[in-house]
Chains A and B, each alone.
Chain A
């Protein structure tokens, strides 16, 4: 009985005799060498990294930034939602109460006195950004730099917080799509109810 083939796509191998030119391989070798020679003049794929960076999309998920509001106050209120959302459990924080006279520093009555992200654990999923009700944490187009010691990868507030100087702010406006903004501001939505 003839075996039925699973697919009818099989091709009979051609065992055709090689001609003399094919047998001595030299034309093929020279052809190959011409091909490789052509590659010498091709455009190179290399990007010389520290001098040049690869363009990243506006919503690239790189290292996080802790945002300040327009008056330069920290937005984070240490609610801990980002830490709960984090699948890699990379975020820890310690909350503290705002004292009188610190209104210029912290937007809400509660703030994070310690805020740490372990960049070796972080998987840059962006759940912290999604979870944040205060628009305080965003992922950016920046990368986490390599280093020699593991301890240096635990980024504290001094690494994460954006500078208060208005000129040095990190622009995340492109990350706030219309859906995100309405999701975070629409008062009909349950999570925005006061």
Chain B
């Protein structure tokens, strides 16, 4: 039992470190990708290919002046970014990172918590994310921050609906809410994307809105709202907000890969005859590759599409995505019923 707890603690810390590292380097990759999309080179001064740029950025953020506005609510002001960061890190618990390890005949799942309501857990945690932004924006006592926060909350609530509706069709197909179970049913190449392309499209669009990424980055919309909800933030508190965005990107990439692209599964997974432990490690890297691809798509879209207007955003969410998701759900239901 102690070994089991120790294993879980180790795994949880490893995943924490990995997600922080990934988020750190996503900032560099984002700037590199942005540079390449704009025929530039991106940062390349700190170390080879700018390898130490995230470190330099981090150190800079730590040593910047910590400025808290006089009229801000001190407690909530600090709570905002902390909550955002906490929530961003919490979601990774329910994601299966690879198949089970087998050591001395004992099975160790490569997942922090295989909760039987995995998807629900992730959605529940993600929806708390809006509080971090709302609290931060409100506590700043600045009209731009407040506007950004209001925009963020209404946007996230609207898109969460369509997102969950899109997922329901997946849940109907699998008959389970457990992430592990969903991945296991996509063994080999039986990925959900082949059966649910529309659900994936809706989920992808909603993921952009949920992570406040362009073209749905209205909450921080620098052209209208200065910096949106983090206008008044400086130093590492700002860093937390920015960092959380990248962790969210990482996690939503992981969720997309898990739900639609078979998670750690890859074609001919059973036929290459790897030992369970080797399989778990390979699966992990396969999953990371998929996540990296989604991370790239996030950046790709950001540097391609212009920002939506707020009414367009709301119209897309309520009048297009939600009806589509419901339609998808109904069609899935009918097909399942007919195949019985």
Contacts and interface: CB of A to CB of B under 8 A. Distances in A.
A36 B40 contact: no
Contacts of A29: 304-305
Contacts of B37: 36, 39-40
Contacts of A40: 36-37
B41 A46 contact: yes
B40 A44 contact: yes
B266 interface: no
Given A37-B300, A48-B41, 17 more contacts: A29-B304, A29-B305, A32-B304, A32-B305, A33-B300, A33-B304, A35-B304, A36-B37, A36-B304, A39-B38, A40-B37, A44-B36, A44-B39, A44-B40, A44-B41, A45-B39, A46-B41
Interface string A21-43: 00000000100110111011011
A48 B49 CA distance: 12
Interface of B: 35-41, 44, 300-301, 303-305
28 contacts: A29-B304, A29-B305, A32-B304, A32-B305, A33-B300, A33-B301, A33-B304, A35-B304, A36-B37, A36-B300, A36-B303, A36-B304, A37-B300, A39-B36, A39-B38, A39-B39, A40-B36, A42-B39, A43-B39, A44-B36, A44-B39, A44-B41, A45-B40, A46-B35, A46-B40, A46-B41, A48-B41, A48-B44
Nearest to B38: A39
Interface string A118-131: 00000000000000
Interface in A42-72: 42-46, 48
A20 to B, nearest CB: 13
B193 to A, nearest CB: 16
Interface of A: 29, 32-33, 35-37, 39-40, 42-46, 48
User: Which of A29, A36, A37, A40 has the most chain B CB within a 10 Å cutoff?
Assistant: A36
Contacts of B35: 46
A35 B301 CA distance: 11
Contacts of B36: 39-40, 44
Nearest to B302: A36
A46 B50 CA distance: 15
A22 to B, nearest CB: 14
Contacts of B39: 39, 42-45
A36 B296 CA distance: 13
Q: Sorted from nearest, which 7 A-B pairs have the closest CB atoms?
A: A46-B41, A36-B304, A32-B304, A40-B36, A45-B39, A33-B304, A36-B37
Contacts of A44: 36, 39-41
B300 to A, nearest CB: 6
A40 B38 CA distance: 8
Nearest to A36: B304
Contacts of B40: 44-46
A35 B36 CA distance: 13
Nearest to A35: B304
A44 B304 CA distance: 18
B164 to A, nearest CB: 22
B326 to A, nearest CB: 17
Nearest to A24: B320
A45 B38 CA distance: 9
B266 to A, nearest CB: 24
A1 B304 CA distance: 48
Contacts of A35: 304
A32 B300 CA distance: 10
Nearest to A23: B320
Nearest to A40: B36
Nearest to B300: A33
A40 to B, nearest CB: 5
A159 B303 CA distance: 46
A36 to B, nearest CB: 4
Contacts of A32: 304-305
A42 B41 CA distance: 11
A43 B41 CA distance: 10
A162 B41 CA distance: 36
A48 B44 CA distance: 9
A73 to B, nearest CB: 43
